[in-house]
Amino acid sequence: MLHRAERADGPLRARPTRRALIWASVALLVAACSDQMFADLGGRSSNWIGEVATTATTTTTTPPSPVRPTESLVWVNDEFGAPPEGAEVAEVLAEAFGRAEDNNSRFLQASRAEIATAVPEVQFPSVVPAAVSHITSQLVIEIRELSLSSDPTVAFGFWSVEPYTRSRSVGQEAVLNLSRDPEGVEVAAQGEPEDVCLRIASPDTLCGVEPIGGTQVWRLEDAEGLAHVWYIDPFRYEFDGFDDQAEELIHEVIASFRPLSEMLPAGG
């Protein structure tokens, strides 16, 4: 009985051992497959991230210039062309007066070439605020006399629209007047800055002097706005306007003055 029992007990003990081996084999197989699976998954994951990576792009915007060259402006009176070579001042004035619509006006519309012929010392800025698009230009005569006035002698208007299509208060940005003033030129060169203030400023006007582009410029400020005055023989320059512009920009314009004769249109 004991021997049979041992024989009977033999198979009962063998089954768990085989099951353990089977489960161990399965576990090893699964482990092997799992290692390969996760190893491959890691590779696929890494490759996927690399494929969708992007680089950021940047753009640079250049701010618009606050000034523009005078050569880009529309000089509305250049349509009158240039006077004949060697023309005298009287001839230029007679031509300008003859085409004037208002014979009572002292301000005669004239082209750049006509002004440079009649008044060759005139200077004008080579750059202006970007808002300016048009320029008007006049020779100024004495009342009932066909000769150049002393105060002013030449006048320019700076416009942001086609001149006279809107009111001056809206479309005209600034005015530049040149007046023949030899005494003022001498005082500015040899006198004290306060002496010039006494000549050009009213008692309720703030007046001071500042160097701009190598030129002594008098700054006048009152309830009506801001003006700048300076002297270049034989004229007194009065620059009035651009009240909505930064003062540094006005200084840049003043520093750019050069002879108008160097700024004539082609063929002028």
| 229, 238 contact by CB (below 8 A) | yes
Q: How far apart are CA 135 and CA 150, in angstroms?
A: 22
Q: What is the pLDDT of residue 242?
A: 93
pLDDT tens, N- to C-terminus, the chain (268 residues): 333 333 334 433 344 444 444 444 444 444 444 444 444 444 444 444 444 555 555 555 667 789 999 999 999 999 999 999 999 999 999 999 999 988 889 999 999 999 999 999 999 999 999 999 999 999 999 998 999 999 999 999 999 999 988 888 889 999 999 999 999 999 999 989 999 999 999 999 999 999 999 999 999 999 989 999 999 999 999 999 998 899 999 999 999 999 999 999 987 6
* Torsions phi, psi for 247 (to 5 deg): -65, -30
If you count them, how many residues does the chain have?
A: 268
Q: pTM for this one?
A: 0.76
DSSP 113-169: HHHHHH-TT-EEESEEETT--EEEEEEEB-TTSSSB-SSSSEEEEEESSSTTSS-HH
Q: What is the pLDDT of residue 73?
A: 97
Residue 13: CB atoms within 10 A of its CB come to 8
Residue ranges of the domains in the chain?
Answer: 1-45, 67-262
Q: Tokens standing for 60?
A: 């640079």
CA–CA distances in Å: residue 128 to residues 25, 96, 173, 186, 192:
92, 27, 11, 29, 30
Give the end-to-end CA distance of the chain in Å, rounded to a whole number.
141
Q: What is the pLDDT of residue 64?
A: 79
| 167, 183 contact by CB (below 8 A) | no
DSSP one-letter code for 100? -
Which residues make Cβ contacts (< 8 Å) with residue 130, sequence separation at least 6?
64, 65, 66, 67, 68
Q: What is the pLDDT of residue 266?
A: 82
HEC sequence for 188-253: HHHCCHHHHHHHHCCCCCEEEEEEECCEEEEEEEECCEEEEEEEECCEEEEEEECCCCCHHHHHHH
Q: How far apart are CA 240 and CA 225, in angstroms?
A: 8
